[in-house]
Amino acid sequence: MRFLVRLGAPVRGFLEFLGDQAHLVLRTLRHALLLRMDQLAVVGGQTKLQIRFTGLDALWLVSGTALLLGAVTLIQAFSQLSGLGAENYIGVLMVLIILRELGPLLTAVLVIGRSSTAIAAELGAMQLNGEIDALATHGINPYQYLLLPRWLGVLVSVFALVVFFDAMALAGGLLVAKLKYGVTFGFYMDSVRQALSNLDFAATLLKVALFAGAITFHACHFGLRIQRSQTEIPQAVTKTVVSALVAVFALDGLIAALFYF
């Protein structure tokens, strides 16, 4: 019996966690539909702040990472496929490695490292200081003022960063291809376009939506659970990173199996 109890405890905890995530998502959606016209400006202002922090402030980090990744991908490919007509597979390699997988995945990882940690710490500090209760006391809905703008901001930012990441990775690949084989811009882009399909665009959009939700609501979950002391904030941040990373990788695997298996 004790063995079954020990075995069932993690399962129960995981199911409770999923239930809390579903609760946060549904409550946020419900209160989003209840927004009044006079509240849109406030929510929009908070969303802009989140987009600035998550998206605009991360552009240099994303662009540098993507540029290096695109260049290194083709350098490694050329070193392994030298003499086999590697230049004929440039588009396929960039689509399979960068656009399908590493673009959305690494963008999500960077956003987790920068933004989900900040969201968890900020909400945790607000919870400890009684600011969230104070908002509710003054008639301000926390779901509308805190959770919804962060979700929308992360969603818009992840989409924009994925597009920017892919573009910079393609630029890095083009640089290597031009220096190594003298590949022209037209040939390079034609090769990429021929390898792309509508399925790739659909999979990327689904990844963006699910990754943004996982990043935001994992951070909100652990941030809002802080109750007692400041020492809980770094613990919540660590749990947010680990949990969001596991969720993102799991979702990425599920979407890959759904679209390409």
Residue 158, CA distances (Å) to 94, 208, 213, 256 in order: 20, 6, 10, 19
Question: What is the predicted pLDDT for the residue at 237?
Answer: 92
With contact defined as beta carbons under 8 Å apart, do 84 and 188 qualify? Answer: no
**Is the pTM here over 0.75, yes or no?**
yes
What are the sequence ranges of the domains in the chain?
2-260
For the record, the structure tokens of 158 come out as: 């992840």
Q: How high is the pLDDT of residue 4?
A: 58
- Please list the ranges in the chain whose pLDDT falls under 70: 1-9, 81-88
User: What's the pLDDT score for residue 99?
Assistant: 87
CA distance 172 to 176: 7
Residue 73 Cα distances to 65, 78, 215, angstroms? 12, 9, 27
Q: Can you give the length of the chain in residues? A: 261
Residue 32: HSE in the Cβ half-sphere, 13 Å Cα cutoff: 15
Task: Read off the pLDDT of residues 191-219 as tens digits, 9 standing for 90 and up.
Answer: 888 888 889 899 999 999 999 999 999 99
Query: What is the per-residue pLDDT for 153?
Result: 95
